[in-house]
Amino acid sequence: MADASADDSVEKGRAERHAARMARKKAHIDAAIAAADAERGLLLVITGNGKGKSTAAFGMAARALGHGMKVGVVQFIKNRTDTGEEAFLGQHAEWHVTGDGFTWDTQNRAQDIATAERGWAIAARMLADPSYRLVVLDELTYLLSYGYLDSDLVLDALAHRPAMQHVAVTGRAAPAALVELADTVSEIADVKHAFRGGVKAQAGIDL
Ligand code: ATP
Ligand code: MG
Protein backbone atom coordinates (compact mmCIF):
# COMPACT_ATOMS: atom_id res chain seq x y z
CA MET A 1 0.00 0.00 0.00
CA ALA A 2 1.19 3.48 -0.84
CA ASP A 3 0.45 4.76 2.69
CA ALA A 4 2.52 2.05 4.38
CA SER A 5 5.58 2.76 2.26
CA ALA A 6 5.23 6.52 2.94
CA ASP A 7 5.12 5.71 6.67
CA ASP A 8 8.22 3.52 6.28
CA SER A 9 10.18 6.29 4.64
CA VAL A 10 9.11 8.83 7.30
CA GLU A 11 10.24 6.38 9.98
CA LYS A 12 13.54 5.75 8.13
CA GLY A 13 14.22 9.49 7.89
CA ARG A 14 13.50 9.88 11.58
CA ALA A 15 15.85 7.01 12.48
CA GLU A 16 18.62 8.48 10.32
CA ARG A 17 18.25 11.93 11.89
CA HIS A 18 18.29 10.35 15.35
CA ALA A 19 21.48 8.38 14.54
CA ALA A 20 23.20 11.52 13.18
CA ARG A 21 22.16 13.53 16.26
CA MET A 22 23.46 10.81 18.60
CA ALA A 23 26.76 10.59 16.69
CA ARG A 24 27.25 14.37 17.10
CA LYS A 25 26.35 14.09 20.78
CA LYS A 26 28.76 11.20 21.29
CA ALA A 27 31.62 13.15 19.64
CA HIS A 28 30.85 16.09 21.94
CA ILE A 29 30.72 13.93 25.10
CA ASP A 30 33.86 11.96 24.14
CA ALA A 31 35.75 15.24 23.63
CA ALA A 32 34.57 16.55 27.03
CA ILE A 33 35.62 13.28 28.72
CA ALA A 34 39.04 13.38 27.04
CA ALA A 35 39.52 17.02 28.12
CA ALA A 36 38.65 16.28 31.78
CA ASP A 37 41.86 14.45 32.60
CA ALA A 38 42.83 16.10 35.90
CA GLU A 39 42.85 14.05 39.11
CA ARG A 40 42.85 15.72 42.49
CA GLY A 41 40.99 15.97 45.74
CA LEU A 42 37.66 17.74 45.37
CA LEU A 43 35.69 20.04 47.61
CA LEU A 44 31.98 19.36 47.34
CA VAL A 45 29.22 21.44 48.86
CA ILE A 46 25.71 20.07 49.15
CA THR A 47 23.33 22.81 50.17
CA GLY A 48 19.73 23.99 49.76
CA ASN A 49 16.50 23.57 51.70
CA GLY A 50 15.48 20.16 50.38
CA LYS A 51 16.06 16.79 52.00
CA GLY A 52 19.06 14.76 50.93
CA LYS A 53 22.20 16.75 51.75
CA SER A 54 23.67 14.62 54.52
CA THR A 55 22.55 11.39 52.89
CA ALA A 56 24.32 12.42 49.68
CA ALA A 57 27.53 12.94 51.64
CA PHE A 58 27.10 9.58 53.39
CA GLY A 59 26.54 7.97 49.99
CA MET A 60 29.98 9.26 48.98
CA ALA A 61 31.39 7.93 52.25
CA ALA A 62 30.01 4.48 51.32
CA ARG A 63 31.58 4.75 47.87
CA ALA A 64 34.95 5.78 49.24
CA LEU A 65 34.89 3.00 51.86
CA GLY A 66 34.08 0.53 49.09
CA HIS A 67 37.35 1.55 47.47
CA GLY A 68 39.21 0.94 50.72
CA MET A 69 39.76 4.64 51.37
CA LYS A 70 40.06 6.04 54.88
CA VAL A 71 37.05 8.21 55.67
CA GLY A 72 36.51 10.68 58.49
CA VAL A 73 33.10 12.11 59.39
CA VAL A 74 32.46 15.05 61.70
CA GLN A 75 28.84 15.90 62.43
CA PHE A 76 28.31 19.42 63.70
CA ILE A 77 25.19 20.84 65.40
CA LYS A 78 23.38 17.53 65.70
CA ASN A 79 23.94 15.39 68.75
CA ARG A 80 22.14 12.15 68.02
CA THR A 81 24.30 9.06 68.04
CA ASP A 82 21.56 6.55 67.20
CA THR A 83 21.47 7.08 63.43
CA GLY A 84 21.60 4.27 60.89
CA GLU A 85 24.49 5.95 59.09
CA GLU A 86 26.67 5.98 62.19
CA ALA A 87 25.71 2.40 63.16
CA PHE A 88 26.58 1.13 59.69
CA LEU A 89 29.23 3.38 58.16
CA GLY A 90 30.77 4.09 61.56
CA GLN A 91 32.02 0.50 61.61
CA HIS A 92 34.44 1.50 58.86
CA ALA A 93 34.76 5.28 58.99
CA GLU A 94 36.06 7.39 61.87
CA TRP A 95 32.89 9.03 63.15
CA HIS A 96 32.49 12.02 65.46
CA VAL A 97 29.19 13.53 66.58
CA THR A 98 30.21 16.87 68.02
CA GLY A 99 27.03 18.96 68.32
CA ASP A 100 24.83 19.89 71.26
CA GLY A 101 21.64 19.93 69.26
CA PHE A 102 19.88 22.68 67.36
CA THR A 103 20.50 26.29 68.32
CA TRP A 104 16.84 26.69 69.27
CA ASP A 105 17.33 23.80 71.72
CA THR A 106 20.60 24.91 73.31
CA GLN A 107 19.69 28.66 73.37
CA ASN A 108 23.21 29.35 74.54
CA ARG A 109 25.55 31.02 72.06
CA ALA A 110 28.70 30.80 74.20
CA GLN A 111 28.15 27.07 74.66
CA ASP A 112 27.42 26.63 70.92
CA ILE A 113 30.69 28.37 70.06
CA ALA A 114 32.73 26.24 72.47
CA THR A 115 31.11 23.09 71.03
CA ALA A 116 31.77 24.27 67.46
CA GLU A 117 35.43 24.86 68.27
CA ARG A 118 35.80 21.39 69.79
CA GLY A 119 34.29 19.83 66.65
CA TRP A 120 36.39 21.99 64.39
CA ALA A 121 39.58 20.84 66.14
CA ILE A 122 38.77 17.26 65.04
CA ALA A 123 38.00 18.41 61.49
CA ALA A 124 41.19 20.49 61.31
CA ARG A 125 43.25 17.45 62.35
CA MET A 126 41.71 15.41 59.52
CA LEU A 127 42.21 18.22 56.99
CA ALA A 128 45.93 18.20 57.81
CA ASP A 129 46.31 14.43 57.42
CA PRO A 130 46.64 12.97 53.89
CA SER A 131 45.75 9.47 55.11
CA TYR A 132 42.07 10.63 55.15
CA ARG A 133 40.95 10.33 51.53
CA LEU A 134 37.44 11.66 52.22
CA VAL A 135 36.36 13.96 55.03
CA VAL A 136 32.65 14.64 55.53
CA LEU A 137 31.87 17.84 57.42
CA ASP A 138 28.15 17.43 58.01
CA GLU A 139 26.19 20.64 58.78
CA LEU A 140 29.36 22.75 58.75
CA THR A 141 27.65 25.64 56.91
CA TYR A 142 25.73 26.66 60.04
CA LEU A 143 28.93 27.21 61.99
CA LEU A 144 29.97 29.68 59.32
CA SER A 145 26.63 31.43 58.84
CA TYR A 146 26.07 31.82 62.61
CA GLY A 147 29.64 33.05 63.00
CA TYR A 148 30.54 30.29 65.49
CA LEU A 149 33.81 29.67 63.65
CA ASP A 150 36.20 32.10 62.01
CA SER A 151 35.33 31.80 58.32
CA ASP A 152 38.85 32.63 57.10
CA LEU A 153 40.34 29.93 59.32
CA VAL A 154 37.93 27.31 57.99
CA LEU A 155 38.35 28.32 54.34
CA ASP A 156 42.12 28.35 54.75
CA ALA A 157 42.15 24.82 56.20
CA LEU A 158 39.95 23.61 53.33
CA ALA A 159 42.07 25.35 50.71
CA HIS A 160 45.36 23.97 52.08
CA ARG A 161 44.28 20.39 52.75
CA PRO A 162 46.24 17.49 51.17
CA ALA A 163 46.10 17.53 47.37
CA MET A 164 44.34 14.19 46.94
CA GLN A 165 41.87 14.59 49.81
CA HIS A 166 38.15 14.92 49.03
CA VAL A 167 35.91 16.92 51.35
CA ALA A 168 32.12 17.03 51.38
CA VAL A 169 30.46 19.88 53.27
CA THR A 170 26.71 19.87 53.90
CA GLY A 171 24.18 22.31 55.30
CA ARG A 172 21.72 24.96 54.21
CA ALA A 173 22.71 28.43 53.00
CA ALA A 174 26.33 27.73 52.08
CA PRO A 175 28.25 31.03 52.31
CA ALA A 176 29.37 32.54 48.99
CA ALA A 177 33.07 32.18 49.83
CA LEU A 178 32.64 28.44 50.41
CA VAL A 179 30.75 28.05 47.12
CA GLU A 180 33.53 29.99 45.41
CA LEU A 181 36.21 27.68 46.81
CA ALA A 182 34.31 24.46 46.02
CA ASP A 183 34.73 22.36 42.88
CA THR A 184 31.23 20.90 42.85
CA VAL A 185 28.18 22.52 44.41
CA SER A 186 24.70 21.03 44.43
CA GLU A 187 21.65 22.81 45.72
CA ILE A 188 18.81 20.52 46.71
CA ALA A 189 15.40 22.15 46.32
CA ASP A 190 12.55 21.58 48.77
CA VAL A 191 9.65 20.53 46.57
CA LYS A 192 7.74 18.55 49.21
CA HIS A 193 8.55 17.01 52.57
CA ALA A 194 6.59 14.39 54.51
CA PHE A 195 7.15 16.32 57.77
CA ARG A 196 4.71 18.99 56.56
CA GLY A 197 2.21 16.17 56.02
CA GLY A 198 2.50 15.32 59.72
CA VAL A 199 4.92 12.39 59.41
CA LYS A 200 7.63 12.18 62.07
CA ALA A 201 11.27 11.41 61.26
CA GLN A 202 11.48 7.83 60.02
CA ALA A 203 14.31 5.39 60.72
CA GLY A 204 15.96 4.42 57.44
CA ILE A 205 14.86 7.65 55.75
CA ASP A 206 15.63 10.52 58.10
CA LEU A 207 17.99 8.89 60.60
P1 ATP B 1 19.10 14.05 55.22
O2 ATP B 1 19.93 13.84 56.47
O3 ATP B 1 17.83 13.26 55.29
O4 ATP B 1 19.87 13.88 53.96
P5 ATP B 1 19.39 16.89 54.99
O6 ATP B 1 20.79 16.72 55.42
O7 ATP B 1 19.15 17.38 53.61
O8 ATP B 1 18.57 15.56 55.25
P9 ATP B 1 18.93 18.58 57.31
O10 ATP B 1 18.61 20.03 57.20
O11 ATP B 1 20.28 18.19 57.79
O12 ATP B 1 18.61 17.91 55.91
O13 ATP B 1 17.82 17.95 58.21
C14 ATP B 1 17.84 16.65 58.62
C15 ATP B 1 16.46 16.19 59.03
O16 ATP B 1 15.47 17.15 58.71
C17 ATP B 1 16.02 14.93 58.28
O18 ATP B 1 15.14 14.24 59.13
C19 ATP B 1 15.29 15.46 57.11
O20 ATP B 1 14.34 14.56 56.55
C21 ATP B 1 14.62 16.67 57.69
N22 ATP B 1 14.47 17.68 56.64
C23 ATP B 1 15.34 18.00 55.66
N24 ATP B 1 14.84 18.93 54.84
C25 ATP B 1 13.60 19.20 55.31
C26 ATP B 1 12.54 20.07 54.89
N27 ATP B 1 12.68 20.83 53.80
N28 ATP B 1 11.40 20.10 55.64
C29 ATP B 1 11.27 19.32 56.73
N30 ATP B 1 12.22 18.47 57.19
C31 ATP B 1 13.37 18.41 56.48
MG1 MG C 1 21.88 17.25 57.01
At 137-147, the pLDDT tens digits run 999 999 999 99
| pLDDT score of 192 more than 80 | yes
Please tell me the distance from the alpha carbon of residue 163 to that of residue 45, in angstroms, as a whole number: 17
Domain boundaries 43-191, corresponding CATH code = 3.40.50.300
Cα 53 to middle of ligand 2, angstroms? 5
**Residues above pLDDT 90, as percent of the chain:** 77
The most confident of the ranges 11-25, 36-50, 62-76 is 62-76
Q: How many residues are listed for the chain in this entry?
A: 207
Ligand 1: does its nearest atom lie under 6 Å from the Cβ of 27?
A: no
Residues with CB under 5 A from ligand 2 (ion): 53-54
Q: Name the closest-CA residue to atom 12, ligand 1.
A: 51
Ligand 1: does its nearest atom lie under 6 Å from the Cβ of 206?
A: yes
59 or 107, which is more confident: 59
pLDDT at 62: 98
3-class state of residue 47 by DSSP: strand
For 96-122, b where at least 16 C-beta lie within 10 A, e where not — what string?
A: bbbbbeeeeebeeeeebeebbeebbeb
pLDDT tens digits along 63-106 = 999 999 999 999 999 888 999 999 999 999 999 999 887 667 77
pLDDT tens digits along 172-189 = 999 999 999 999 999 999
Q: Name the closest-CA residue to atom 31, ligand 1.
A: 51
Cα 147 to middle of ligand 2, angstroms? 19
**With contact defined as beta carbons under 8 Å apart, do 179 and 55 qualify?**
no
Cα 19 to middle of ligand 2, angstroms? 43
Cα 207 to middle of ligand 1, angstroms? 9
Q: Name the closest-CA residue to atom 30, ligand 1.
A: 195
